[in-house]
Every structure is written in C-alpha cells, then in structure tokens.
Structure 1
C-alpha cells in the first residue's frame, strides 16, 4: 500500500513541474518586456536634442553673419571749388557763380542691398546755408559700393550776407562746412530689417588764392 502511494505521487509531482515550466515560458519576465521601449525613448530624445542643438547653432551663426546688419559707410573722396579766385581779385565780390564739385561714395558691408531715398547735401558758411543739392534715390547691392558726383551751385548773395565775410575775405580763408544725410533701409528678411540714417559732417577751409581746400575733417554718424 505504501509503494502504491509513492507511485501515485510521482506523476503528480512531474505534472506540476511541467505545468510550472509551461506557465513560465508562456509568461516571460515583465522586466525583459519593458526594457526595450525605455531604450527607444532615450534614443529618440537624444536625437531630438541633437537636432535642436544643431539648429540653434546654425541660427546663432546666421545672426552674427548674414542676419547681422552693419553700418553703411559714407565717404567724401574729394572736393573742389571753382570761382574763388574771382572773389580774391576784386575789391568787392562780384556776382559770379561758385561751383562745388564733390565725389561721394556709399559702401554697403551687408549681405543684403541698401536702399536709400533722396539725399540732401548742404554747404554752410558759418550757420548760413549757401548751397544745396538733392541727389536721387538709389540702391547699393550687397558687399558693394556706389560713387556719385555732386555739383553744388553756391549762392553768392547768401555768402555776402554772412557778417564775418569781410574779415574772412581779407584773410583769404573762408571756413566752410558740409552736411550730407542719407535715409535708407537694409532688409535681409521680413524679420531682420532696419531703417538707417547715415550722416556726414565735414569742416574745411577754402583758400581764396589757390582755390584749394585745406584742413578737411569729416565725421560720420549712423542712427538706427
């Protein structure tokens, strides 16, 4: 009877072990099942972060190169006055035409064109305006410069009205200044654009005997 009981227990034990193995195979470890999605999520987040970092670096580089708007450069290359010797050779200044010819250049250091409206060039003797010239609107392409010639007719009547004219005429030197103002706009994109006002003020002495321009000093200011 005891042997019969042992034989009955053995199949039950084997069946139980087999059932347990089958259950374990049909239900894999939950740790093994959830580990793969975590790695995929980490890789995806890392790729997104790398893309945003690269895009940020590109935008930063563009802001300091292409999208950075620089100041246009305004230069007075040369200036010449015609007719001053006629004033020197007379006791009283005759009614003659004095002409000022100036060579002016505008340089655009930006990666976009610089468009500007009409520019006014004024000539001052003391605080009196003795001549003006209006240049037409224009455009300076990216990384290029434009030169223009300006001819200004001086109003002799205005020169004679200046209180200090006789003393300066006797010394043979007329202290004169010029002012040029250019308003324009640099537009890289609809977002990166700026309105610019470039102005140049020059002081100089006109020599009545040689018609030479002496001690010319020009200063440029830019306002955004």
Structure 2
C-alpha cells in the first residue's frame, strides 16, 4: 500500500529546492527606478551649475560698474584782456566737458564746479550742469569759465615764458550708476586737464587730460 505522505507531495521540477522563495521581478524594478532617479538628480545638478556659470558670466559683464570718464575738450577764448603794464589778465573761456559712460546702465550726476588753476592758485572756473548720460553713451556739456588774475608773474617752476602759460582745469563730479533695478552704485569721478595759454595768439594750446 502506498505511503499517504508520498501521495500528497506536489510535483517539483528538477533543480528547484523546496526552501527557495518564488521568483519575483519587484527587486529588479526597484533597482532600475533608483538608478533613473540618481541620473535625474545628476542632470538637475549639472543644469543648475551650468545656469549659475552663465549667470555669473553675464553679471560680470553687464552688472560690473566702472567709473565714467570726465574730460575737457575744445577749449577756446571768447574774450581776452591782457594789460602788459599792470600784468593783469581777464579771460572768458568756453569749453566742452564730456562724460563718457561705458557702463550698461545710466549715470545720473549732480552739478559741480570746474576750477582753473595756475600753479597752486585758483584763477577762475565755471559750473558744470548736472544731468544724465545713457548706458554706453557720451554726453557733452557746454561750460563757460571766467579767468581773472592780477600781478601776473611767470613762476610756475620755470616752465612758463612771457608768451606761454601752463594752466590746469580740475573738477570733481558725483553721481550714481543705475543698471536696471539691480545695481545702484555711487560713483565720484575727477577731471584733471592741463593746457597752455598763449598770450600772443590769444589761444589755448596742447590741452591734455589724464
């Protein structure tokens, strides 16, 4: 008579142990999903780094603020009175002051005074009107300067003669550079120009700004 236990035992294919768990694809699917999530995170971080680099490059070019340049140009004599006996001089000089703005934002500046010096002595000057100059633009401002001095003597370090006098024009301008709504920076610029006044030809020669 057959053994009851052998009759109830299920049939198992060869090579399969009874204590092994049944085959499942859940572990493989979870591993693939984890790998895809890791790759997505790497792509997101790479994109953030790339965009940050691009932004820094743009900011370094467009948001960087440099000092505008202030220059004196085209000086000319409008009125000339020179008394050789009393060595007195009375001159009206006109010139253009240029504000060169190389920034990617406008420069708004205030009124300031331009003075004319002979040696260390102030002998005249005029007012530079305030205004604004656009981004990457240059603005010219007409300036009239009055020069007066008495008892003229040629003592500027021996560089002057009875015909030629070296004078200097100086100005200090204050304003603000506005780049969109991101940058608002105060900038103070200076003008320092030398020129030669020819008493014989009654003209300004060799104007140089630095």
Map 1:29-68 onto structure 2 (within 5 A): 31-68=27-64
Match among 187, 195, 209 for residue 200 of structure 2: 209
TM-score by length of 1: 0.77
Q: Which of 190, 202, 205 is the matching residue for 1:199?
A: 190
Counterpart Cα distance in 2 of 1:82 and 1:141: 31
The answer on 1:129 being equivalent to 2:122 is yes
Q: Does the 8 Å CA contact 1:178/1:203 hold for their aligned counterparts? A: yes
- Partners of 2:161 and 2:153 lie apart in 1 by 13
Q: Secondary structure at the match of 1:87?
A: strand
Distance between the aligned counterparts of 1:173 and 1:15, measured in 2? Answer: 120
Q: Which residue of 2 is the match for residue 222 of structure 1?
A: none
Structure 1 residue 176 corresponds to structure 2 residue 175: no
TM-score of the two chains, using structure 2 as the length reference:
0.82
| Residue 150 of structure 2, aligned match among 144, 156, 160 | 160
**d(CA) in 1 for partners of 2:94, 2:62:** 36
Structure 1: give runs of 5+ residues left out of the alignment. Answer: 220-224
Please state which structure has a larger fraction of its residues in strand.
2
> How do residues 6-155 of structure 1 correspond to structure 2 at under 5 angstroms?
9-14=6-11, 24=22, 28=24, 31-84=27-80, 86-87=81-82, 90-93=84-87, 97-154=90-147
Structure holding more helix per residue: 1
Runs of 4+ more than 6 Å apart:
167-170
Q: Residues 108, 37 of structure 1: CA spacing in aligned structure 2 closer, same or farther, 3 A cutoff? A: same
Stretches of structure 2 lacking an aligned partner (at least 5 in a row): none
The whole-number CA distance in structure 1 between the counterparts of 2:164 and 2:90 is: 18
